[in-house]
Amino acid sequence: MLKKQTEKIEIPPKIVRESRIAIIRSEFNSQITESLERHCLKILLSAGIKRSQIKLYQVPGSLEIPVTAQRIAQKRRTDLIIALGAVIRGDTYHFELVANECARGCMDVSLKYGIPIIFEVLATYNSAQATKRAANDSNNKGREAAIAALKMLKVLDQLKK
């Protein structure tokens, strides 16, 4: 079993001052994705990242996340991208297509441009699972995305040296 990421991340002041983050949020299943975004922002801001250092983008669905990430990455003005979405299984295979292609697209962009994409596009079998992962508690996956982003900013800083 994996240990929950509950520790406070200490970020050197230089990283806090200079980091530029993009958050792409799918509007589909908005009750879930808005909660992910809210918790993600809360953690980033509590770590000292200023709101002006964070750009928010909303896209219609999770399949639009990779192309948006690509456009952001092409501009080279962002250190890290966070992808937030929720794909909930329905009666057809569409669920798997959306989840898989969104993940593949984000990985392709990340590797092509050398920009980490923290991937928190939930792929759940039902609404209850998605709601649980977007709850107002420490299990919120938006929170976990922010913690992973802060850790990656530290790694990126180390790689500059």
| Catalytic positions | 94
Burial class of residue 153 in the structure, from the number of CB atoms within 10 Å of its CB (0-12 exposed, 13-18 middle, 19+ buried): buried
* Mutual angle of helices 30-46 and 141-160, in 10-degree steps: 40
* 95 marked among binding-site residues: no
44 labelled as ligand-binding?
A: no
Q: Is 63 annotated as a binding residue?
A: yes
Reported as type and span, the H/E element at residue 26 is: strand 21-26
Q: Is 133 annotated as a binding residue?
A: yes
Q: What angle do CA 103, 106, 111 make, to 5 degrees?
A: 125
Residue 86 annotated as lining a ligand binding site:
yes
Q: Is 62 annotated as a binding residue?
A: yes
DSSP state of 53: G
Q: Is 79 annotated as a binding residue?
A: no
**Annotated binding-site members:** 28, 62-64, 86-88, 91-92, 119, 133
**Annotated binding-site members for 5-amino-6-(D-ribitylamino)uracil:** 28, 62-64, 86-88, 119
